[in-house]
Structure 1
Amino acid sequence: MIADTRAGARSGEARRGRRVAPGRHVARGREWDGVSGPTGEDPAWIGPYRIERRLGQGGMGRVYLGRSASGRAVAVKVVRPDLAEHADFRGRFAREVAAARAVSGAFTAAVVDAAPDAPSPWPATVYVDGMALSDAVARYGPW
């Protein structure tokens, strides 16, 4: 069973009496820190999402295309380690995730999951396929 990483949620392991440390997750009976994978640069998993490829990188961290257990495509943003170690940043990040969860509409990718308290904080949003912003500007010009 995949752990629900939202605040206040309890995994099947936790409901069965197994203690799961804050910021850690359980899937198929295995506990991990939320960002794991091979020794390469990109993780194989972030939380319960299997990572397919890197979508981009910016000032806050990296964004990956991931898949849920049901096959749903998500964009997972992982915060840079140097930012994640600062309590003031983590507070702002947690507020940003909460605000993003409250927003919905046709022009907003909904937040479907997040682990702002994980060792490597991350939110996951609905993945919207499209061209890179740099390609759109090159093709159509700035608006």
Structure 2
Amino acid sequence: MPKMDLTVNGTTHAIEADPDMPLLYALRDDLGLNNPHFGCGLAQCGACTVWLDGQPTRSCITPLSAVGNAKITTLAGLGTPEKPHPIQAAYVEEQVPQCGYCINGWLMTAAAFLRDKKKPTEAEIKEALTGLKCRCGTHISILKAVKRAAEMMG
């Protein structure tokens, strides 16, 4: 198996893996990260979302060969318990999570959106989050949390 380096949350890791293997498997199986999650395996739900060089990417369909030297950020790299990212703080304040399985996709997508779009409208938020799935049905709370985070980020 070829050796490759993955830079995840600021730390470089050397792994041996098939270049066709999905990034998600390397993150979970080789690096032992418990997020992102495997949801559908078809890039339809978003539970596997990470950032590649700051862009939300569905890791379940991204082969390692496509990662190259990109910096990978997982939910664990977004913020810390002591200093959470505003979207993480807003999720807590709005009491969004129920099961939390889908949270990677929602938070990573919303954080990238809010980084690039200041003072979004509700319609823009909904459009940005299109394609993410939450089976618990916390969509109204998610919308409130994204609005709150946008206000926090000013």
TM-score scaled by length of structure 1: 0.25
Q: Whose helix proportion is higher, 1 or 2? A: 2
TM-score scaled by length of structure 2: 0.24
